Structure 1
């Protein structure tokens, strides 16, 4: 009789006639029992289960519940694990924060990334320091406290203080070279014959010119007299240091330009003619040509007046600007006295500006 295939049950048991049911023997093969699903604890430490027998569906993988920390319960709880039958207690490990860990920086704020308190404090100190420095500088400007290094003082203020500190040979050199300063571009040379003591302005100007200069005041007047290489011309050049500020000097300069005050004969400056010098005969009647310049970048009025060294009187004086014109035919123009006055005034002014620049240069 053919045997049934394993794993199948015959539809009905075959028995012989007269044979009882009790005498029948079981011919089917018993199936292996399905093992129970391994516990969550054993699954974590034992080897993977073997595949189930054919025809039996595999058991669903066990799921592990997690606690509030997000870790599996069997890792979060302190429970006994068994490896080879011996109980093993899983230790609780806590990592220490690194040295650079900043709890305040790691804690986000409601608006986003939290600024570290140390960084915020440093920034506040920088801002406070800049404010204090700016306030000190502003206070120095407002109070006029510029007594620091010469390089920190402005040129206008420095120029006003030069009258008592600059050597006379720097303001009025013993010899002044005037390349191309004469008529037709000829060279000129002027030799200093006298230097006046620093003084006020009472006797240095005619009353009308003194009145015009009153708005800027008279702090100090420095003068020197030169003669040309032929000793036939004499020229007095002067530096009037005023008490005015930049605005007052600009206002006076505008008035001279608008009203032509530098060309009026009744506003000629007076010469300095010491006795026993080549300029001894140089008086008010010998004035032949002149120039007056009101500076705006320094509290200084630069002027010069020229005449003949032999003491001859001049009835038709002429401003230097007009006497330097090529078509001018007056005696001062023909003699080049306009060039003497303008040439000396220009070079003394340049020497003053050079000295001011040296005094205000910041040390490197």
Structure 2
């Protein structure tokens, strides 16, 4: 019996593999090696990036970002401490006591109409306010932190504001119902101050806690003008003080 395909007493030989297929296998092998080499190189670079210390530029960016977040990341009591020291021209050192912190943060409602366009055009993010009483509890002082996206925006806003902020057209008074300063309102504002540092402006205004209108006071007391800038300086001094980046902490993004 003869099987079909039996030729010259033996089985048919397999056909030789096409040359094109062998070439494709060689190319695929080369590409695999190249990809593996690229993967190893990428892993080495990534490992280096993860383990190297941050550069000076990265630290600067982290510092700027941390500063700009403080107005919302810090507890309100840290931004506005319980007491703020000040010095009178006569009488020595005294302390202002915080009596309340406002809940509203909208830029528009915290300042008079004449300042709103400037703050808005430079990207004002929020204005947070607190009211203090002087040591004798006769004066009320509202301090407001105006937050901007970065130092450049804050600087632009400062340049766009009047060189001298008037008490009657600056930060609005934060009245606190049920407190000693319940009657302190916009009409009672007598002196004002403003400071700029980093991504913040700090504005402050002062008047009598009993709410007596500034328009009815014939002679302003000089110490009001002495006290109000000291409060602004104290608040912005701690809020805008750069901190050394701690890139190992989740609070920092280096």
Q: For 1:349-364, what aligned pairs fall within 5 Å after superposition? A: 349-354=236-241, 356-357=242-243, 360-361=245-246
The partner residue of 1:275 within 177, 195, 199 is 177
Would you say how many aligned residue pairs link Structure 1 and Structure 2?
Answer: 202
Alignment of 1:285 onto 2:187: yes
Answer yes or no: is the 8 Å Cα contact 2:144–2:171 preserved in 1.
no
In the alignment, the residues of structure 2 paired with residue 185 and residue 236 of structure 1 have an alpha-carbon distance, to the nearest angstrom, of 23
Which whole-Å deviations, capped at 9, do the CAs of 1:92-142 have from their partners, x for residues lacking one?
xxxxxxxxxxxxxxxxxxxxxxxxxxxxxxxxx9xx96xx96xx99xxx8x
- Gaps in structure 2 of 5+ consecutive residues: 1-40, 249-254
2:99 match: 193
| Equivalent in the alignment of 2:220 | 331
Q: Does 1:312 align with 2:212?
A: yes
Higher relative contact order (CA 8 A, sep 6+): 2
Query: How far does the alpha carbon of each residue in 1:241-261 deviate from its partner, in whole angstroms, 9 at most, with x for none?
Result: 123x333333333344xx52x
> Structure 2 vs 1, CA of residues 185 and 157 (structure 1 numbering), >3 Å: closer, same or farther?
farther
CA RMSD of aligned residues (A): 3.3
Q: 1:160 is paired with a residue of what secondary structure?
A: helix
Partner residue in 1 for 2:7: none
Separation (CA, whole Å) in 2 of partners of 1:301 and 1:291:
10
CA distance in 2, matches of 1:316, 1:292: 25
Describe the shift of the 1:264–1:346 C-alpha distance in structure 2 as closer, same or farther (beyond 3 A): same
Length-normalised TM-score, structure 1: 0.49
Please state if 1:348 is matched with 2:235: yes
Alpha-carbon distance in 1 for matches of 2:140, 2:118: 26
> 8 Å contact 1:200–1:218 — kept in the other structure?
no
Note the alpha carbon deviations across 1:148-178, whole angstroms, 9 max, x for none.
xxx6743332121112221222111112222
Q: Deviations over 1:280-311 (max 9, x none)?
A: 1111110000012233x2x2110100000121
Q: Give 3-state SS (helix, strand or coil) of 2:204's partner.
A: strand
2:159 to 215, 236, 254: 254
Task: Work out whether residues 188 and 208 of structure 2, in 8 Å CA contact, stay in contact via their aligned partners in 1.
Answer: yes
Relative to structure 1, the CA distance from residue 176 to residue 248 in structure 2 (aligned partners, 3 Å threshold; closer, same or farther) is closer
Return the index of the structure with the highest Cα Rg: 1
Offset at residue 264 of structure 1 (A) = 4.0
Secondary structure of 2:191's partner?
A: strand
DSSP-derived class of the 1:271 partner? coil
Q: Match of 2:196?
A: 294
Alignment partner of 1:235: what SS?
A: strand
Q: Using structure 2 for the length normalisation, give the TM-score.
A: 0.68
TM-superposed deviation, 1:353: 2.9
Cα deviation for residue 337 of structure 1 reads 1.3
Match of 2:116 in 1: 210
CA distance in 2 between counterparts of 1:263 and 1:316 reads: 20
Please give the secondary structure, in 2, of the residue aligned with 1:230. coil
Equivalent in the alignment of 1:3: none
Tell me which protein shows more helix as a share of its residues. Answer: 2
Runs of at least 4 residues of structure 1 off by over 4 A?
none
Q: 1:266: how far off?
A: 5.3
Mark the CA change 1:316 to 1:186 in structure 2 (over 3 Å): closer, same or farther: farther
Give, in whole Å, the separation in 2 of the partners of 1:163 and 1:198: 13
